[in-house]
Amino acid sequence: MTSQVRGVQLARLLGQWHALPGRRRSPDYAALAGAVRGLLADGRLPLGVRLPAERELAEALRISRTTVTAAYRQLRETGHLASRRGAGSWTMLPGNHRVASSGLWTPLDDLDMIDLGCAALSAPPQLVPAARAAAEDLPRYLCGAGYHPTGIVELREAVADSYTARGLPTSPDQIMVTSGTQHALDLVLRLALAPGGSVLVESPTYPNALAALAARRARITTHGLAADGAGWDGDLLLGSLRQSRPKLAYLIPEFHNPTGHLMPADLRERVVAAAHAAGTDLVVDESFVDLPLDGTPLPPPVATFDRHSRVISIGGMSKPYWGGLRIGWVRASAPQVQRLAAARVGVDMASPVLDQLVAVHLLADAPAIVSARRAQLTAQRDALLGALAQRLPDWRVTVPRGGVTLWAELDGPISSALARAAEEVGVRLAPGPRFGLDGTLERFLRLPFTLPASDLVEAVDRIAGVRYDLDRAARPQWREPVVIA
Ligand SMILES: Cc1ncc(COP(=O)(O)O)c(C=O)c1O
């Protein structure tokens, strides 16, 4: 983990802190302290890291050292910084609270908070009957030791069948069950990427994938997605693969998180060919593949175009079913699955048998569960779009044809400032920069539609209220003398 953040790094993370609407409300030092608190709250600045010395940060930000001294003092007073004379200052949270460095964190005692930071549904009603049925099945497994590094065979069969049904013939020995899609990604990275290896990702992308890549100290290049229209620019994406020849590319072609884009079939085919020519392994995250909305037809899986075992697909139960199950999988060649299972023995040995049995029962009921989920998500998406059109008409949104999130283009580079202000009125947001690498994407905000429609409408109402306040605070208290010429 990073133990020290240098002045230039913190300056990059802070981005446009001095130009944010609302900042005239407070002096420079308070705006700086507020921006650091915002970075800590959403996980972009980890806890326990040493901040740069005051002089170094002042130089990096081109502001006076007194301003930094006052900001650090305020952060100490609010409990966000611990300093020891001569040793430096470390980030912390008030009351020694802890936050995952990924920022995916919900305090359980905060019941009034509308949490739009997390894009996942609550469990479907079929979960409890599935768990009961799984408990009935359990005796079949109790005479063995219970370790199944690639997963229990009945779940591998069910997952393989779902790929076959999508037009990609798959046998159970091509499937490895994991503890969630995130775990699948981590294992694949351990196998396919040496520390410091080069990786291409979309920008924006899923933040916890960036966290997994950071753990491998990956050297990351990005392919920028358009907020509207097609999303991927095929020629640019292929050009990046050809030029940078990364060891690995991580893509989310099925209702991409956060933008909701769906990669068209012809680009899938071209990407696989270009990856093969560049010697790049493709990790395809299919977390949202079960959630097309509006009857949107699905293109063939990316792996359909793969002739050289270049494509590793990952997916899981979290989005269509329930994240609390922690069941995901990898689809790869049978030898790759064996290598992954060997790597896993040094990590967690195997996934829980009981949870895998629950997954088997849920998958057996897939048509009913998934179609109810789609109907629920469609209604919630439409409620969110309606509230946005009414309360924040200047924001631009492309209607997502699947998945669980929309990516709003805001009316200014205000995403982090808005997230901080929204927290004050009980709405947790994941601001745009969480989905990128370099503190950019301040004009964007991801909004999931996984909560009930009434919560979404209430959240938009509160967000619109604080958006308006940001503007009012930004308005100067004095007027420029009018030049008459
Ligand atoms: C693109 C993507 N990949 C992986 C995950 C993690 O999924 P899981 O809960 O299965 O680990 C998520 C969850 O939001 C996601 O959006």
Q: How many Cα neighbours within 13 Å face the side chain of 159?
A: 29
CB atoms within 10 A of CB 459: 24
Same domain, 165 and 88: no
* Residue 220 DSSP SS3: strand
Q: If you average pLDDT over residues 453-457, what whole number do you get?
A: 98
Instruction: Give the separation between CA 364 and CA 384, rounded to whole angstroms.
Output: 31
| Interval between CA 207 and ligand 1 midpoint (Å) | 10
* Residue 427 DSSP SS3: strand
Same domain, 192 and 294: yes
Q: Residue-wise over 181-206: b if at least 16 C-beta within 10 A, else e? A: bbbbbbbbbbbbbeeebbbbbbbbbb
Q: What share of the chain is helix, strand, coil (3-state, %, to 5)?
A: 45, 15, 40
Residue owning the nearest CA to atom 7 of ligand 1: 181
Residues touching ligand 1 (Cβ under 6 Å) are: 119, 180-182, 206, 252, 257, 285, 287, 316, 318, 323, 328
Residue 102 in any domain: the answer is no
Q: If you average pLDDT over residues 448-473, what whole number do you get?
A: 91
Q: What is the pLDDT of residue 297?
A: 97
The residue whose two tokens read 């991801």 is 446
Q: What is the pLDDT of residue 44?
A: 74
- Residue among 181, 202, 321 whose CB has most ligand 1 atoms within 8 A, to mutate: 181
User: For residue range 151-209, what is the model confidence (pLDDT) as tens digits?
Assistant: 999 999 999 999 999 999 999 999 999 999 999 999 999 999 999 999 999 999 999 99
Sign of the Cα torsion 360, 361, 366, 370 reads negative
| Interval between CA 450 and ligand 1 midpoint (Å) | 14
Q: pLDDT-based confidence at 21, cuts 50/70/90?
A: low
Q: What is the pLDDT of residue 476?
A: 40
Q: What is the pLDDT of residue 2?
A: 54
Q: What is the pLDDT of residue 422?
A: 93
Same domain, 310 and 424: no
Q: pLDDT-based confidence at 383, cuts 50/70/90?
A: very high
Instruction: Give the separation between CA 181 and CA 209, rounded to whole angstroms.
Output: 10
Helix pair 366-391, 453-474: axis angle to 10 deg: 30
CATH number of the domain where residue 387 is located: 3.90.1150.10
Helix pair 415-424, 28-41: axis angle to 10 deg: 80
Instruction: Give the separation between CA 464 and CA 483, rounded to whole angstroms.
Output: 35
Same domain, 197 and 328: yes
User: For residue range 199-236, what is the model confidence (pLDDT) as tens digits?
Assistant: 999 999 999 999 999 999 999 999 999 877 789 999 99
Residue-number span of the structural domain to which 37 is assigned: 7-96
Q: What is the rounded average pLDDT for all residues in the chain?
A: 90
Instruction: Give the separation between CA 305 and CA 101, rounded to whole angstroms.
Output: 36
Residue 168 in any domain: the answer is yes
Could you tell me the two tokens for 277? 């020519």
Work out the percent of the chain whose per-residue pLDDT is above 70. Answer: 91
Instruction: Give the separation between CA 351 and CA 12, rounded to whole angstroms.
Output: 39
Same domain, 29 and 162: no
Same domain, 432 and 332: no
Q: How many domains does the chain have?
A: 3
- Residue among 185, 208, 284, 317 whose CB has most ligand 1 atoms within 8 A, to mutate: 208
Residue 132 in any domain: the answer is yes
The residue whose two tokens read 């982090």 is 416
Asked if residues 179 and 327 have their Cβ atoms less than 8 Å apart, the reply is yes
CATH number of the domain where residue 231 is located: 3.40.640.10
- Residue among 287, 321, 449 whose CB has most ligand 1 atoms within 8 A, to mutate: 287
Q: Residue 421, exposed/middle/buried by CB under 10 A (0-12, 13-18, 19+)?
A: buried
| Interval between CA 291 and ligand 1 midpoint (Å) | 14
Residue 307 in any domain: the answer is yes
Domain boundary among 346, 366, 386: 366
The residues, ordered by sequence, that sit 6+ positions from 77 with a Cβ below 8 Å of its Cβ are none
Domain boundary among 338, 366, 394: 366
Same domain, 171 and 251: yes
Ligand 1 atom having least distance to the Cα of 206: 1
Measured in residues, the chain has a length of: 485
CA nearest neighbour of 68 among 10, 9, 131? 10
Tell me how far the alpha carbon of residue 109 is from its chain's centroid.
23
State the alpha helices, DSSP H only, in 317-365.
334-345, 353-364
| Res. 364: pLDDT tops 80 | yes
User: For residue range 270-298, what is the model confidence (pLDDT) as tens digits?
Assistant: 999 999 999 999 999 999 999 999 999 99
Ligand 1 atom having least distance to the Cα of 256: 1
Q: pLDDT-based confidence at 20, cuts 50/70/90?
A: low
Q: If you average pLDDT over residues 324-352, what whole number do you get?
A: 96
Same domain, 215 and 344: yes
Q: pLDDT-based confidence at 39, cuts 50/70/90?
A: confident
* Residue 251 DSSP SS3: strand
Q: Give the lowest-confidence range in 42-56, 85-99, 329-343.
A: 85-99
| Interval between CA 257 and ligand 1 midpoint (Å) | 9
Same domain, 318 and 463: no
Ligand 1 atom having least distance to the Cα of 182: 11
Fill in the amino acid letter for 37.
R
| Interval between CA 214 and ligand 1 midpoint (Å) | 16
* Residue 265 DSSP SS3: helix
Same domain, 349 and 374: no
Asked if residues 69 and 110 have their Cβ atoms less than 8 Å apart, the reply is no
Q: What is the pLDDT of residue 101?
A: 41
DSSP 162-212: HHHHTT----GGGEEEESSHHHHHHHHHHHH--TT-EEEEEES--HHHHHH
Query: DSSP state, 23?
Result: G
CB atoms within 10 A of CB 385: 19
Q: What is the pLDDT of residue 478?
A: 40
CATH number of the domain where residue 68 is located: 1.10.10.10
Work out the percent of the chain whose per-residue pLDDT is above 90. Answer: 75
Distances (CA, A) of 49 to 82, 196, 212, 329, 465: 10, 21, 19, 34, 34
Same domain, 238 and 357: yes
Q: If you average pLDDT over residues 407-421, what whole number do you get?
A: 91
Residue 484 in any domain: the answer is no
Ligand 1 atom having least distance to the Cα of 327: 10
Q: pLDDT-based confidence at 1, cuts 50/70/90?
A: very low
Residue 42 in any domain: the answer is yes
The segment with the largest mean pLDDT, out of 63-77, 211-225, 366-380, 466-480, is 366-380
Instruction: Give 336-339's long-range contacts (Cβ < 8 A, gap of 24+).
Output: 336/191, 336/309, 336/312, 337/150, 337/173, 337/174, 337/175, 337/176, 338/150, 339/191
| Interval between CA 463 and ligand 1 midpoint (Å) | 26
Residue 108 in any domain: the answer is no
Higher-confidence residue: 20 or 37? 37
CA nearest neighbour of 180 among 341, 313, 327? 327
Q: pLDDT-based confidence at 47, cuts 50/70/90?
A: confident
The residue whose two tokens read 């009945």 is 154
Q: What is the pLDDT of residue 324?
A: 97
Domain boundary among 334, 366, 398: 366
| Res. 269: pLDDT tops 90 | yes
Q: pLDDT-based confidence at 100, cuts 50/70/90?
A: very low
Higher-confidence residue: 18 or 406? 406
Residue 286 in any domain: the answer is yes
Same domain, 345 and 377: no
Q: What is the pLDDT of residue 12?
A: 86
